[in-house]
Amino acid sequence: MTPTPLRKDAARNWDQIVAVGRALVDQGTPLQLNDVARRAGIGVGTVYRHFASPEALLETVATPCLEALAAHGEQALADPDPWRALEGFLTRTVEAQVGDASLAPVTAAAEDVLPRTTELKSLLWSSGTTLLDRARAAGTVRPDLAAGDLVPLMCGIAYAVQVHGGAPAERIDTARRYLATLLGGLRVTPPGA
């Protein structure tokens, strides 16, 4: 799977670049490869060789979180309650998007630059689609909601939280409130039914 195991110094620099990228993302600074190189104490050429574009670095930074989400998505399929499974899936996904700034742009992007990202997103959407289909078949969600609506709605919630602003702790609370509102609109039959 790894065509060339990467030389020792190259691997060290790779880690360094990703670490700086993660730090920049966390503090909300837009990724500029020239800037990343300066902060990492590494030549500009090295950074551009490892990551052809800021998007490539961003996707790399987001990969671990995407992997966790994809894993949780597959695991949610085991839940016998269709509505609870969908609810948990959406909750976890939205909270991850709000908590990790690298996720929102990657999930909203129509095109990916890393194959791994495409693969993970495909897995994640596949889980979401199945969960939504199951819930619809059980009659617990609006029938006019298609699988293609799942991603936009989650991105919309994340964006709404961003527009609302506030401290990180407050933002998670906001996200939960917005998601609860949306879920209330998604659900057809009351929870007690």
Query: Closest CB to a second copy among 14 and 83?
Result: 83
Cβ contact 154:93 at 8 Å: yes
Give me the least distance between CB of 152 and a second copy, in Å please. 4
In the complex, the residues that contact DNA under the rule CB under 7 A are 4, 6-10, 12-13, 32-35, 37, 42-46, 48-50, 52-54
Helices (H), the chain: 8-26, 33-40, 44-50, 54-76, 82-99, 103-108, 115-137, 150-164, 168-186
- Considering only residues 95-134, where is the footprint of a second copy by CB under 8 A? 108, 110
**Binds 50: which of a second copy, DNA, none (CB < 5-8 Å by kind):** DNA
On the 0-12 / 13-18 / 19+ scale of CB atoms within 10 A, 153 is: middle
141 DSSP β-pair partners: 187
Of 10-18, 47-55, 120-128, 181-189, which segment contacts a second copy by CB under 8 A?
181-189
**Binds 32: which of DNA, a second copy, none (CB < 5-8 Å by kind):** DNA
Query: Closest CB to DNA among 114 and 120?
Result: 114
Give me the least distance between CB of 7 and a second copy, in Å please. 40
State which amino acid sits at residue 48: Y
Cβ contact 20:8 at 8 Å: no
